[in-house]
Amino acid sequence: MPMKSDLRFSLPTPAQCGEMDRKASETIGISALMDRAGWAVAQAIRARFAPCRVLVLCGPGNNGGDGYVAARYLERAGWSVQVAPLAPPREGSAAFGAAAQYRGRITDFAPENARRADLVIDAVFGAGLDRPPAPEVVAVLSAARTLVAIDLPSTVNGTTGAALVEGPDYRMSVTFVRPKPGHILYPGREICGELICADIGMPEVCLEAAGPTIWLNGPGLWHVPAMSPEDHKYRRGVVSICAGQVMPGATRLAAAGARASGAGLVRISAGEGAAAYCLGAPGLVIDDGPLKTLLEDERRRVWLCGPGLTEPEVAASLPLLLASERIVLADAGALGWAGSEPEKLRGVSVITPHIGEFTRLFGAPGDDLVAAAREAAQRIGAVVVLKGAVSVIVSPDGRVALNDHASPALATAGSGDTLAGVIATMLAAGMAPWEAACAGVWLHGEAGMRAGNWPIVEALDAHLGDARAKAIALACEI
Ligand SMILES: NC(=O)C1=CN([C@@H]2O[C@H](COP(=O)(O)OP(=O)(O)OC[C@H]3O[C@@H](n4cnc5c(N)ncnc54)[C@H](O)[C@@H]3O)[C@@H](O)[C@H]2O)[C@@H](O)CC1
Ligand SMILES: Nc1ncnc2c1ncn2[C@@H]1O[C@H](COP(=O)(O)OP(=O)(O)O)[C@@H](O)[C@H]1O
Ligand SMILES: [K+]
């Protein structure tokens, strides 16, 4: 059963928004919400643009209804406004009422009218968009000099962020209640421009009834343990890392990430390669004994397997870890070892593929990253962290977190190894796998944001402790 998370982090899908609206229509009423939505759009525009000639493109549904309301408020504020309806709203609907209240100028839904306006408001389709818009619609949108979307651009799938057709970019999108996944995921994120989310007084019970399962990653969605006087190194947690002989750098980066994010103890299982690691950081413990013997120590619950490992090295370690029922994070070489048979990874707690590794394991994810990662997580019964500019963190129970708390500064070789170390530390601190993965990705992102311009990967470590302190402080405030 998915655990209930704080609704303030929720990212309801358009389908869930439909459910929310149905619930709201039983209490507060759609017309009242539509009025606040249109008012919020007008306010956002007035705050960012000087008065100018505005054209509002209105579709037949509630998105169009929001457009008529925004037009009315902008006109009332003295702006030059025209509305271009694509099709009239259904008689008796809330949008019909909003259209009737707008008494200003009406013009044709045509490219030349969009071209003449200084600012075009896209109220054609929002959460109801269910197929690619017709070429005539795209032609009008594309003729605009400056575009603002109500809720979502009429070209973007609000669930996946996919562009249904090639269309223009927007200066700003004003959504309501909560952002949708399509506002966060690329390419939707980029097409939307500045994102504003307006509070329109939607009762919380309506959002709850919508049953969101996708969340924006951040402190409060999870809680990282704080430092405590009762701490000792085993309480903070031991991270054990399987080390390779050929690529020691990856192992060392993961170990450094684990230590810098607060592990009590980091041990490297290096076998015959121990000598090379002994020359490294003095705070590491290097083991040269056979893995089987090391696994007799019950305190060593959490293992990282994959960074810097060749396939034979994974073959010699991962099955043993799984047989001894350890909490295993599989990354890099361990994913390569599984090839296109992801079931070989059954028993691990977390995997952290980038898109290439994901594709080799499960096939190309297509436009819907969340659906593909969900299917993958269910298939192997593990948390999947699909890494990217926005990382998708999925639990086998269906919970999804989207992480946009990151920086392109992280796009440097080895940064994935650091991340694996950080997540391992969260696991060793006793966090459940999905929460540990969410926290690790956020801390890694925060470190990337703090690390200045063009940091080398080792520079991330210096910021992980402060990132952890910030996560603890923010979670307390929520
Ligand atoms: N969630 C909320 O809190 C609120 C939402 N409101 C607005 O309501 C909108 C959703 O309204 P609707 O459910 O009426 O949906 P839309 O107004 O987005 O779409 C209307 C209808 O257009 C049709 N359609 C979809 N794609 C099409 C295409 N490519 N070509 C031709 N026709 C197409 C569909 O049959 C759809 O039902 C939101 O986007 C938002 O702007 C607000 O009015 C009130 C509060
Ligand atoms: N443009 C970007 N914006 C934000 N984060 C990024 C970006 N590019 C990469 N990252 C992050 O950097 C890390 C790179 O990991 P990975 O691809 O495994 O690299 P490596 O194998 O070199 O360690 C991931 O956590 C990913 O989410
Ligand atoms: K729209």
Residue of the CA atom closest to atom 22 of ligand 2: 413
At 370-386, the pLDDT tens digits run: 999 999 999 999 999 99
Nearest Cα neighbor of 195 from 181, 208, 207 is: 181
Decide: 20 in ligand 1 pocket, CB within 6 A: yes
Looking at the chain, which residues constitute the CATH 3.40.50.10260 domain(s)?
A: 7-212
Question: What's the pLDDT at 477?
Answer: 86
User: Which residue of 369, 415, 449 sits with most ligand 2 atoms within 8 Å of its CB, as the best mutation to test the pocket?
Assistant: 415
Per-residue pLDDT of the chain in tens (478 residues, 90 and over written 9) = 344 578 999 999 999 999 999 999 999 999 999 999 999 999 999 999 999 999 999 999 999 999 999 999 999 999 999 999 999 999 999 999 999 999 999 999 999 999 999 999 999 999 999 999 999 999 999 999 999 999 999 999 999 999 999 999 999 999 999 999 999 999 999 999 999 999 999 999 999 999 999 999 999 999 999 999 999 999 999 999 999 998 999 999 999 999 999 999 999 999 988 998 998 899 999 999 999 999 999 999 999 999 999 999 999 999 999 999 999 999 999 999 999 999 999 999 999 999 999 999 999 999 999 999 999 999 999 999 999 999 999 999 999 999 999 999 999 999 999 999 999 999 999 999 999 999 999 999 999 999 999 999 999 999 999 999 999 999 998 8
The bound ligand whose nearest atom lies closest to the alpha carbon of 389 is 2
Query: What is the three-class DSSP state of 263?
Result: coil
At 345-363, the pLDDT tens digits run: 999 999 999 999 999 999 9
Residue of the CA atom closest to atom 39 of ligand 1: 126
The bound ligand whose nearest atom lies closest to the alpha carbon of 13 is 1
Q: Is residue 195 within 8 Å of 401, Cβ to Cβ?
A: no
Decide: 83 in ligand 1 pocket, CB within 6 A: no
Decide: 59 in ligand 1 pocket, CB within 6 A: yes
- Strands across the sheet containing 400-403: 214-216, 400-403, 391-394, 383-386, 350-351, 327-330, 302-305, 238-242, 265-269, 285-287
Looking at the chain, which residues constitute the CATH 3.40.1190.20 domain(s)?
A: 233-477
Domain 233-477: which CATH number of 3.10.270.10, 3.30.950.10, 3.40.1190.20, 3.30.300.180: 3.40.1190.20
| Side-chain-side CA neighbours of residue 4 (13 Å) | 6
Over the chain, what is the mean pLDDT? 97
Pick the atom of ligand 1 nearest to 59's CA.
17
Residue of the CA atom closest to atom 27 of ligand 1: 129
Helix, strand, coil percent content, the chain, rounded in steps of 5? 45, 15, 40
What is the dihedral sign for C-alpha 63, 178, 32, 81? negative
Domain over 7-212 is classified CATH 3.40.640.10: no
Decide: 388 in ligand 2 pocket, CB within 6 A: yes
CA of 132 from ligand 1 middle (Å) equals: 13
Question: ipTM score here?
Answer: 0.96
215 φ, ψ to 5°? Answer: -130, 150
CA of 417 from ligand 2 middle (Å) equals: 9
CA of 215 from ligand 1 middle (Å) equals: 22
Decide: 446 in ligand 1 pocket, CB within 6 A: no
Query: What is the three-class DSSP state of 153?
Result: coil
CA of 15 from ligand 3 middle (Å) equals: 15
Decide: 387 in ligand 2 pocket, CB within 6 A: yes
